[in-house]
Amino acid sequence: MKVLLPFLKLFKRQWLMMMLGLLLSFTTLLAGIGLLSLSGWFLSATAIAGITLVTAQAFNFFTPAGGVRFFSIARTASRYGERLTTHEATFKLLTELRVWVWKKLLPLNAANLAGLRKGDLLNRLVADIDTLDHLYLRLIIPISASVLTILALYVFISFFDPALALMLCGFLLVMLIVFPTIFYRLGKQPGENLVQTKQAFRVQLLDVIQGQAELSLFAANQRYLGKLYQQQQVFFNSQINMAKITGLSQALLVLTNGIIVLLMLYFAATAVGSANPPGALFAMVVFATMACLEMMMPIAGAFQHLSSTVLAAKRVSAITNQTPAIAFDANKTTKAKSGALTLNQVHFGYHENQPILKGVNLNIAAGQKVAILGKTGCGKSSLLSLITREWQAQSGTIQLDSVDIKHYNEASLRSAISVVSQRVHLFNGTLRDNLRIALPYVEGEKVTAHDERIMSVLQQVGLGHLLEGDKPLRLWMGEGGRQLSGGEQRRIGVARALLRDSPLLLLDEPTEGLDKQTEREILATLFDFSQDKTLLMISHRTTLLTEMDAIYHMVNGQLVESRSEG
């Protein structure tokens, strides 16, 4: 249970809304018990008063009737307010929780997330965090409100008969202690299975969606869909098992409540307080006991889902408790100006005893343009990952403007380097949104502050046709940039690099998969832009290599120079 403590600490930020929700939940339970108790007493008292004409005329019908109306309206209003308040508090808690998790996630790098599939990470950031709302909505509120209601019920009934009050509230407290343990044990394994099968189903579903092109190309759609349907059925079976536990728990509560009602019928049948025979007070006590079922029912759902909440907390904590494998010194203020790059005896491997780079040496002067060629998998992209500090070399040094990159803070290093890769991610937003991310963030700055510069860059990269219309920069890109072709998406990546305007430009197979004409146009734009910048390009294609000052080949984890000019 200790794994829940970091998440519980976040709740104090919404303590006022949470306390209001608890108060309204308590009020709802009291109003419900008061409504049923008063109704039972009123009906019984009316029947008794009607036995004789004198008692019928003397009986006050209006005050109890007004009380019934009051409790009815109070219960409806407090229930609405409780739902509104508790859900508002839950949504705010989930928002703060997601922000907190993202702040923990952002400093992590590829080494921290190695082996974690995208679908699994997505499931942790969405489904697992959503599961944590059970802590407040299904656990804290029902338990706290039930304890307060039992205390209030004891005070009320003890006013008429302390023995009956102690008996009823004692039974309820035993239920509140024993049943959560039973329900937790019943729901432990099904709850964990539900989280795990949901995660497996989401991962497989994401794989099928993302791999549609390849699956269709190799006629493997039906085979993978069959596996997806099998996993879906496993997920449905987990839900069915949890529903059975829910039904069993609720049945057990109803049965126990019925037993308590029978006991109260037996013990209250002789007298309530000084009344003998008990009369209308007897009905009030019995109906109050029946109304307690509403208070106890949420306990079943609270503790049968506790195991899934704990498992979700463990899965999220597995990310948030990590220490970044690569730490940046926030106190450093070093800034790069020329983009000169030097690598000295750099050794790197993703796994021990499996070296990829073996003593790489490279010196790129300011303003120089260098290409590194090599087969797929030879370590070219790994070299760029070391320069951007996505990974950390096991030994050797990498210097930017004669300063070790370890001595740059993250903001300075990121502003000094622009990367154009073969995969350009476009967000589900407007054209403006997808380009403004390349510009420094200034709080309070107008969204349209850089529109002229953005439109100029779009013209420069050959995307002027996207500017047609009344509000061109509000063109919606769609998920993954589905509105654009592959070449247009690649040009968006180039436009980001031009907007970034960093002294060091890294090109990671920027034209992979494009036709020759588009490839030449994109590279020509990049070379023209980088005339006064340092450029390092990795590729296995030879287009426009005549523009390069030096060309290297990656062979057996080392760089071999094949041509040098100027």
- Between 80 and 107, name the one with better pLDDT: 80
Question: What burial letters (b/e) apply to 42-73, b meaning 16+ CB within 10 Å?
Answer: bebbeebbeeeeeeeeeeeeeebeebbeebbe
Q: How many helices (H) and strands (E) does the chain have?
A: 20, 10
**Is residue 10 situated within a structural domain?**
yes
Do both 295 and 384 map to the same domain?
no
Do both 272 and 350 map to the same domain?
no
**Is residue 332 situated within a structural domain?**
no
**Is residue 82 situated within a structural domain?**
yes
pLDDT in tens, 299-340: 766 676 677 788 888 888 888 888 888 888 777 777 888 889
| Number of domain units in the chain | 2
Alpha-helix runs per DSSP H in 305-424: 306-320, 380-387, 410-416
Whether residue 23 is predicted with pLDDT greater than 90 in this model: the reply is: yes
Which residues lie closer than 8 Å to 547 by C-beta, 6 or more apart? 369, 523, 527
**CA gap 193, 238 in Å, rounded:** 6
What confidence category does residue 276 fall into, taking pLDDT thresholds of 50, 70 and 90? very low
Do both 162 and 273 map to the same domain?
yes
Widest CA span in the chain: 120
Do both 212 and 293 map to the same domain?
yes
Do both 145 and 267 map to the same domain?
yes
Host H or E run for residue 461:
none
Mean pLDDT of 472-487: 81
Do you know the residue count of the chain?
A: 566
Do both 284 and 420 map to the same domain?
no
What confidence category does residue 273 fall into, taking pLDDT thresholds of 50, 70 and 90? low
**Is residue 472 situated within a structural domain?**
yes
Whether residue 45 is predicted with pLDDT greater than 60 in this model: the reply is: yes
With 0-12 CB in 10 A as exposed, 13-18 as middle and 19+ as buried, what is 426?
buried
Q: How crowded is the C-beta side of 346, counted as CA atoms within 13 Å? A: 29
pLDDT in tens, 389-399: 888 888 999 99
**Is residue 113 situated within a structural domain?**
yes
**CA gap 359, 191 in Å, rounded:** 51
- What's residue 54's pLDDT? 63
What confidence category does residue 213 fall into, taking pLDDT thresholds of 50, 70 and 90? confident
Q: Which domain holds residue 166?
A: 2-320
| Cα-based distances in Å from 230 to 193, 214, 222 | 15, 21, 12
Query: pTM of this prediction?
Result: 0.73
Do both 114 and 231 map to the same domain?
yes
Strands ordered across the beta sheet of 558-564: 417-421, 504-508, 534-539, 369-373, 550-555, 558-564
- What's residue 52's pLDDT? 67
**CA gap 257, 172 in Å, rounded:** 9
User: Among residues 284, 236, 243, which one has the least CA distance to residue 264?
Assistant: 284
**CA gap 127, 79 in Å, rounded:** 27
- What's residue 410's pLDDT? 86
The amino acid occupying position 372 is I
State the pairing for strand pair 534-539/395-400: unpaired
What confidence category does residue 233 fall into, taking pLDDT thresholds of 50, 70 and 90? very high
User: Among residues 390, 418, 413, 391, which one has the least CA distance to residue 403?
Assistant: 413
Q: What is the CATH number for 91?
A: 1.20.1560.10
**Is residue 335 situated within a structural domain?**
no
Whether residue 274 is predicted with pLDDT greater than 70 in this model: the reply is: no
Residue where one domain finishes, among candidates 269, 287, 320: 320
- What's residue 565's pLDDT? 45
